[in-house]
Structure 1
Amino acid sequence: MKRIVIKVGSAVLTEKNRIAKERMLNLVTLIANLRQKYKVILVTSGAVAAGYSALKLDKRKLIGKRALAAAGQPILMTSYKKKFDIYEIDTAQILLTEDDFDSRKRTKMFQEIIDAHLNNDIIPIVNENDISSTPEQLFGDNDQLSANVTVATRAELLMILSDIDGYYDKNPHEHDDAKIFKTINEIPPEALLDDSTPNDPFATGGIVTKLKAADFLLKKGKSMLLCNGFDLTSAESFLLHDNHQLGTLFEPLNKNKKAD
């Protein structure tokens, strides 16, 4: 059975500093349906935003972000558990940092843990451990984390669920004539340098972090789909029916050729 990684951002998971329960349930329902075809690893944001419902701290300050994440992790995981319990699906929480991918011993350890979860029909829910880590140990955004998890766990595809339909030739919020790219095989270097800011105040990414994740995966011979997380129709159509309706598919020209 194929492995895939699904990454969901704060903009999709939260609304007005609270968990967007309906959107989370829609995501969990999608994952439940996908299990007939895939082994799914979930990379989730939302802990800092969830923590803000309990603590009103400045996330721009390191201690504030850590305190929010510490308060928000159990809120986030409890919300997931309640939704997955509807489908009688067990979950496990895994917190990682960039350092976990730099050490063969540590990488092998979490690989084996995730393998054990998947082999026992448990959904691994991965997030970045920004509570006790130094800034140098962190990816800083879950787009990069999810791309590295995809490679490390030998998954075939990363799907990023965002607040946009895909990657456009220009900013769709500023240009009515912006056109979406359906398939991309290579990312121009200058696109990785563009300025971008996320739409959600609790998000840490933007389009450039997603392009960097896609670029990393393309060079590893793997694919990524960027699509809308508010309406999961295109995600379900692509994964369950092999029908690419909407969203940008980043796909290497030669999927069997992997970079060192």
Structure 2
Amino acid sequence: MKRLVIKVGSAVLREDSVLAVDRLNNLVDLIAKLKNEKGYEIILVSSGAVAAGNTVLNLDRIEVLNRQVLAAIGQPLLMKHYKRRFREHNLKCAQMLLVEEDFDSRKRSANAKGVMEILLKNNIIPILNENDVIANQELLIGDNDQLAARAAYFFDADMLAILSDIDGLYDSNPHENLNAKMRKIVEKIKEYELEMKHTPNSEFATGGIVTKLKAADYVMKRGIPMYLTSGFDLTNAYDFLVEENHKSGTLFKAIKG
């Protein structure tokens, strides 16, 4: 594996009314280890702009314009933290704000890919997010799980890793069933699983397990595996991504053919 897309969700990057700086720091440390010791190219898809903006200005997040204002405030706050922490590892990062149309238009997707290749060639970590400030429709129905899946495919990644507020896919809801068991390996996602109701666990999130299953289905069908684990405690992520030891978390295997 050479190129890895890592996606981190809003629930991971926020703690009550402030940014979860410790978790962000731990994420940066993981990425630095993957780059400096494993030699991987890393593309980071980071949610959290609206949540970060809300730490500065308390607005009703149900209103679309308010969410756009919060995203405009929060995005530079996120980048400030990322830049400072990556600098401690002698690493540089850059921001790319994308919308669905950037992957639908041949010209726009080719341009985005060209920018991506130059950034990675120069050892810079691209940090991607949806352009929530201008994308009304994306803000209502878009989510960064799907953005990460498209980034993994269009930017030729070898794997997508999603760090979330859940530590994997279970055979039933672990919040309701104490005997729920994790599915460590998934080779196929059933249609009914993709049609379940979206149930984000955080008020700042836009998805839930269904959006992660849709992301997994998208990349699996295009020959790219996806790994899902917790972003709160990165022990499993280190085991799988750094040590290449699958102790926990769910691996969605690429469909060959």
Code of the aligned partner of 2:96: I
User: Partner of 1:28 in structure 2?
Assistant: 28
Q: Is the contact made by 1:196 and 1:207 (CA closer than 8 Å) also made in structure 2?
A: yes
Code of the aligned partner of 2:211: T
Q: Does 1:134 align with 2:120?
A: no
- The correspondence of residues 226-237 of structure 1 with structure 2, limited to 5 A, is 226-237=228-239
Q: Is the contact made by 1:99 and 1:137 (CA closer than 8 Å) also made in structure 2?
A: no
Paired with 2:140 and 2:2, the residues of 1 have a C-alpha distance of 28
Are the structure 2 counterparts of residues 137 and 199 from structure 1 closer, same or farther at C-alpha, using a change threshold of 3 Å?
Answer: closer
Paired with 2:25 and 2:82, the residues of 1 have a C-alpha distance of 8
Q: Is the contact made by 2:43 and 2:125 (CA closer than 8 Å) also made in structure 1?
A: yes
User: Partner of 1:81 in structure 2?
Assistant: 83
Are the structure 2 counterparts of residues 112 and 198 from structure 1 closer, same or farther at C-alpha, using a change threshold of 3 Å?
Answer: same
Q: Is the contact made by 1:128 and 1:138 (CA closer than 8 Å) also made in structure 2?
A: no
Find the residue that maps to 2:126 and give its secondary structure: strand
Are the structure 2 counterparts of residues 10 and 32 from structure 1 closer, same or farther at C-alpha, using a change threshold of 3 Å?
Answer: same
User: Partner of 1:119 in structure 2?
Assistant: 121
TM-score of the pair, normalised by structure 1: 0.95
Report the CA distance between 1:137 and its aligned residue.
8.5
Are the structure 2 counterparts of residues 39 and 136 from structure 1 closer, same or farther at C-alpha, using a change threshold of 3 Å?
Answer: closer
User: Partner of 1:62 in structure 2?
Assistant: 64
Q: Does 1:48 align with 2:75?
A: no
Report the CA distance between 1:253 and its aligned residue.
4.5
Give structure 1 regions of 4+ aligned residues with deviation exceeding 3 angstroms.
136-139
User: Partner of 1:183 in structure 2?
Assistant: 185
Code of the aligned partner of 2:153: V
Q: Does 1:216 align with 2:218?
A: yes
Q: Matched residues, percent identical?
A: 53
Find the residue that maps to 1:155 and give its secondary structure: coil
Q: CA RMSD in A?
A: 1.3
1:74-102 per-position Cα deviation (integer Å, ceiling 9, x unaligned): 11111111111111111100000000000
Segment drifting more, 68-77 vs 234-243: 234-243
1:22-68 per-position Cα deviation (integer Å, ceiling 9, x unaligned): 11010000000000321000000000000001111111111011000
Code of the aligned partner of 1:104: R
Paired with 2:171 and 2:247, the residues of 1 have a C-alpha distance of 18
* Number of aligned positions between the proteins: 255
Paired with 2:189 and 2:140, the residues of 1 have a C-alpha distance of 24
Structure 1 regions of 5+ residues with no counterpart? Answer: none
Code of the aligned partner of 2:16: K
Find the residue that maps to 1:249 and give its secondary structure: strand
Report the CA distance between 1:18 and its aligned residue.
1.6
Code of the aligned partner of 2:164: S
Paired with 2:138 and 2:70, the residues of 1 have a C-alpha distance of 19
Structure 2 regions of 5+ residues with no counterpart? Answer: none
